[in-house]
Amino acid sequence: MTALSVARVLHGTTAEGPFLRTAVWVQGCSIRCPGCINPHLFEPGGPDADVDGLADAIVTAGVEGLTLLGGEPFDQADACGFLAERVRAAGLGVITFTGYAVQDLRSQLADSPVHRLLAATDLLVDGPYQHDAPESARALVGSTNQGFHHLTERYRSYDPATRRNRIDIRISADGDTRLAGFLTRPGLRSLTGSAAVNLCASSLSTPSESPPGTQPDGRSESKALTSSATWASARRMRSPASRNQSRY
């Protein structure tokens, strides 16, 4: 069994790349960017997901592709590469976010598992989050140094400069509400104040927010699905000090 240390799996999000996607947040990051909004994903560990089971769940989730983020996917390059290979073999696309620079990844030794994940990625978004260089024009990234690298033609038409960031909201049966995406700070305060949104990192499993390796039900194909305010990619977030926009 190939295992992957996973913090969270979200089936059916529209906030983590183009089209309807499954997002997998891995646990552990050796880069640890200053200003990171997900420091709880720094330490390695967390539950291990069976990659075969997780791949099966993603393929049956009714999504266009997989987004790998975290945490740092290339810190678990072999397992992430295996997962990416499995879903691509089923016809899905793969987007991988990393805090490493693409040239540094490509310079690794030929037998490094880094190349496995690179070879199974369609779109690579690279670079550490830099809180003193906030991005204001492109979707999906938080600082201007971060780049989009089309390793295949699959997402070539996706232009982050012409796309808006999305806000996804999910409300569970017991009233717990979570959100993901870019919001202005006033917008976030307005939303959380008026809707009494709970932004705590509670453990909640819903039909489209499955524990690692489990199967979602048919509701996972709904386009009104979201990711958690506490689990988005740290390197794509704006610095809280900017008081302008935040990535959740």
Q: Which of 56-70, 107-121, 128-142 has the lowest mean pLDDT?
A: 128-142
What is the tens place of the pLDDT at every residue in 25-66?
A: 999 999 999 987 778 899 998 889 999 999 999 999 999 999
Q: Give the C-alpha separation, 238 to 248, whole Å.
A: 9
Paired with 140 in beta bridges are none
**Mean pLDDT, all residues of the chain:** 79
CATH architecture of 3-247: Alpha-Beta Barrel (3.20)
Cα Rg of the chain, angstroms: 17
What is the per-residue pLDDT for 230? 34
Domain ranges of the chain: 3-247
Select the more confidently predicted residue: 176 or 180.
176
Please report the pLDDT score of residue 172 as a whole number. 85
- The token duo for 79 is 């397992």
* pTM, rounded to two decimals: 0.77
Predicted local distance difference test score (pLDDT) of residue 183: 60
- Tell me the average pLDDT across 82-97: 98
DSSP character for 106?
H
pLDDT (0 to 100) of residue 116 = 97
The neighbouring-strand residues paired with 137 are none
- Residue 132 confidence (pLDDT) above 80: yes
Closest Cα partner for 135 from 119, 146, 121, 149?
Answer: 146
- Of 205, 200, 235, nearest in space to 70 by CA: 235
Contacts of 118 (CB under 8 A, 6+ apart): 105, 106, 124, 151
pLDDT of 164 reads: 87
Please name the residue ranges forming H helices in 43-123: 51-59, 77-89, 102-106, 114-119
Element (H, E) at 177: strand 177-180
